[in-house]
Chains A and B, each alone.
Chain A
Amino acid sequence: MNLYNLAFNNIRRKKLRSALTMLGIIIGAATLVVLLGITAGATSAVKAETDQYMYDVVITPASSTGSYLMDAETVSKIRSRSNLFDFREVTSFRENVDGKDVIFEGTNDWKQVKLNGTPGVVISQQVADELGYDIGSKIKVKDQELTVTGIETSQVQSLYVYIDQDTAKQLVDGKVSAIYARTNGDPKTVADEIEEQISGVSVETKSEKVAEVQEMTDQALLFMGFIAGIALLVGIISVINTMLISVMERTRELGILKATGFTNREIKGSILFESGLLGLSGGVIGVILGIAGIMVIANVLKLTEYIPDMMPLWLILGVIAGATLLSVLAGLYPAMRASKLNVVEALRNE
């Protein structure tokens, strides 16, 4: 039997109180793991999307042109540049259909459009609902009739019509709203050259775009960490409370320990060990529950492929270490009080 066994015994014999104290830490740790994990996973998902669809540069009409489309001549100039290759064009334009402003979006990648029906002219559910179109209906746009072949099923809350990129481009006389391309040489240098030599275009490099996304996700991570940190802090405050009550209740016991020769440092150590043990146990259980929560949420959000990214080792170990360390710190004040008890008065305590 030593003081550390005694501390362990103290937690065991006050099962309900220990469990309630741990509950605060468990909730805090689980919240931290879930929020930071999901944010980290979402970050990975966004990065993966960015990596997949972003080329080295994105060329769009400069805002000074007042247009969201580049004309055929500009597109031709861009495509003829020797330092650009592997082009992907996107044409997106608005058109009035039956009195509503509908966005027509050119696409080459039908995998990105979750559809009921076949690729071709796919309308969003909103178009189907608000304008009364269905598979087989004809949409008239710029004097052409397009037959609806599918309905987009991911519940985009806008009036969208997805059409083949070539068709979209042809409908607006060869105009394009964005050109993605790879570069020979440094993307930044190439981007500067294009902006200098072709008027009316704006060129953004992938690294700028990635940095933008990174900044956004970093901010989200920080915000989520702050919210979850508050949850953990509440748990830690319950450790201070429990340890203070425990020290008060055990005044006589602490007096006996002092009378039998335990040093102040040993007594402080046992209180800190006890609070640390509460933090460690709460942290481990919280992380396990957090991981379970992530699994559920990832399944609901259909982000299961990013589950490994949602549970980085730094997060799991960090939360456990953080909960333990903060609990030890929470035990400091009660431990100081315990070590400063007057032995004679403590022994008189009922």
Chain B
Amino acid sequence: MNNYIIEFKDVWKTYNMGNTEINALAGLNLTLEKGSFTAVMGPSGSGKSTFLHVAGILDTPTKGFFRINGKQASKLSVKEQAKLRRNEIGFIFQRFNLMSQLTILENLTLPMINEDTQKAMNILDNMGLEGKYAKRPGQLSGGEQQRVAIARALINDPSIILADEPTGELDSKNANSIMQILHDLNRNKDVSIVIVTHNPEAAAFTDQILQMRDGNIV
């Protein structure tokens, strides 16, 4: 058993666009240690988001070997992959992706493996959202919504959090606040975190910055 949270060996993701093949990932080799806090940067179309989707088992690679927390996702059934996502991985998206018709608290309790309202409220309190349990996402600011999304990502105590442009829709004050929360989580809860970002200020909160270009690390 090694100490890697993410291992990619010669991973390819190829899209067919008519007669043209586009390699979003072109033989990506990458290992990230457990407890690491990593930023992946690069120009648009460099394969950052595809890397994050494959790492989060939201997308399947065309070929190659990869493991998440020691588990080879490609060898798991669709159901086991879903369980792995639920148990081990927390997602944070640029556009928050909260369920607009549910309250903040319900957004958290919905994906919980064992519904525990008190735990959900404690996490919201830690995110500075006490007293807002019954509000709906539309009633919160962008910064608050992203904190709800972080709270949701933490709800099943994941080993890793994957964040796709988590500060992309926020002003600099809120962006710094979100990055500080992620930094503290990494330090205090020992959660591995990978963020994909264009923002150097956000990347500055992490321990290592990887640059991607043409589907590979440069």
Contact = CB atoms under 8 A, between A and B. Distances in A.
B8 interface: no
A343 B99 CA distance: 15
Interface string A256-267: 111111111100
Contact of B101 (A13, A262, A263, A342): A13
A259 B58 contact: yes
Interface in B81-112: 82-87, 89, 91, 93, 97-99, 101-102, 105-106, 109-111
State the 8 A-B residue pairs at the shortest beta-carbon distance, nearest first: A261-B86, A260-B111, A1-B106, A263-B82, A261-B85, A343-B58, A1-B109, A1-B110
Interface of B: 53, 56, 58-59, 78-79, 82-87, 89, 91, 93, 97-99, 101-102, 105-106, 109-111, 115, 152, 156
A9 B102 contact: yes
A264 B98 CA distance: 19
A101 interface: no
Contacts of A252: 97
Contact of B93 (A3, A342, A347): A347
A255 B56 CA distance: 13
30 contacts: A1-B102, A1-B106, A1-B109, A1-B110, A2-B115, A3-B110, A6-B110, A13-B101, A252-B97, A253-B99, A256-B98, A257-B111, A259-B56, A259-B91, A260-B85, A260-B91, A260-B110, A261-B82, A261-B87, A262-B82, A263-B78, A263-B79, A263-B82, A263-B83, A264-B78, A343-B59, A344-B58, A344-B59, A347-B93, A347-B97
A344 B54 CA distance: 10
Contacts of A342: 59
B184 to A, nearest CB: 23
A261 B113 CA distance: 10
A9 B102 CA distance: 9
Contacts of B78: 263-264
A342 B59 CA distance: 8
Interface of A: 1-3, 6, 9-10, 13, 252-253, 255-265, 342-344, 347
B51 to A, nearest CB: 12
Nearest to B98: A256
A185 to B, nearest CB: 71
Contacts of B109: 1
Nearest to A266: B82
Nearest to B57: A343
A268 to B, nearest CB: 12
A255 B58 CA distance: 9
Contacts of A9: 101-102
B58 A2 contact: no
B83 A261 contact: yes
B127 to A, nearest CB: 17
Contacts of A3: 110
Contacts of A347: 58, 93, 97
B17 to A, nearest CB: 15
Nearest to A348: B95
A252 B53 CA distance: 16
Nearest to A262: B82
Given A9-B101, A13-B101, A262 B93 contact: no
A250 to B, nearest CB: 10
Given A1-B110, A347-B97, A259 B85 contact: yes
A13 B100 CA distance: 12
Given A256-B97, A343-B53, 8 more contacts: A1-B105, A1-B106, A1-B110, A260-B91, A260-B152, A261-B86, A262-B82, A343-B59
A343 B81 CA distance: 13
A342 B41 CA distance: 25
A257 B58 CA distance: 11
Given A252-B97, A344-B59, A260 B86 contact: yes
B79 A265 contact: yes
A342 B58 CA distance: 8
Contacts of B86: 260-262
Given A2-B110, A261-B156, A263-B78, A256 B115 contact: no
B74 to A, nearest CB: 16
Nearest to B162: A259
Contacts of A261: 82-87, 89, 111, 156
B56 to A, nearest CB: 7
